[in-house]
Structure 1
Amino acid sequence: MSVQFVLDAAGKQTAVLVPIREWERIQKSLQKPAAAKKAAAPGAAAKERFKEEFREAVREMKLMEAGKIPKYPLHQLLAELDNEP
């Protein structure tokens, strides 16, 4: 790899020139940890889905308490939960 350093008048390094192929390799290696983290945490999507569904349930409860949507009986809720995958 032929990296070149750019120096200012005082001799301090201010920039680096990297060959394009090396730069592309660096970019790919920087993107891998994020992809690896997603792959390493397969439950992350399920956790986010649960959190969103819970938020929606709280919104619905508040609307029911305010009388903006009808309340429904507990047996109906339990029946819905039994039918979910």
Structure 2
Amino acid sequence: MSVQFVLDAAGKQTAVLVPIREWERIQKNLQKPAAAKKAVASGQADKERFKEEFREAVREMQLVKAGKQQGRPVEELLAELRELPNQDA
């Protein structure tokens, strides 16, 4: 690999010339961690949202069991589930 440095009039390095194959390799390696980090962050957000929704469902069931809230019809639950985005896509 023959990397070349570009210098200004004062001799300070201002740029680097990298062979295209090396540049493509660098870009590919740089994209991997970013994509992995994004996937982890997205998965973590989904996990947190699921946990919060599950907590809310448990609270709701406890209120129904204690007679402090009326239960919802199963048809309402099924309609709500049909509106969820398809996670297989």
- For residues 26-59 of structure 1, the C-alpha deviation after alignment (integer angstroms, 9 at most, x for no partner) is 10111010223345568425237x27x96xxxxx
Show the counterpart of 2:71.
Answer: 75
**8 A Cα contact 1:38 1:44, kept in partner:** no
Residue 11 (structure 1) aligned with residue 8 (structure 2): no
Structure 1 unaligned blocks of 5 or more: 55-72
Mapping of residues 11-30 of structure 1, within 5 Å = 11-30=11-30
Identity %: 71
SS at match of 1:76: coil
CA offsets 1:1-39 (integer angstroms, 9 cap, x no match): 100000011110011000000000010111010223345
Provide the TM-score with structure 1 as the length reference: 0.52
User: What RMSD, in angstroms, separates the aligned Cα atoms of the two structures?
Assistant: 3.7
Structure 1: how far apart are the matches of 2:16 and 2:38? 31
Structure 1 ranges of 4+ moved more than 4 A = 38-42
Structure 2 unmatched runs, 5+: 54-68, 82-89
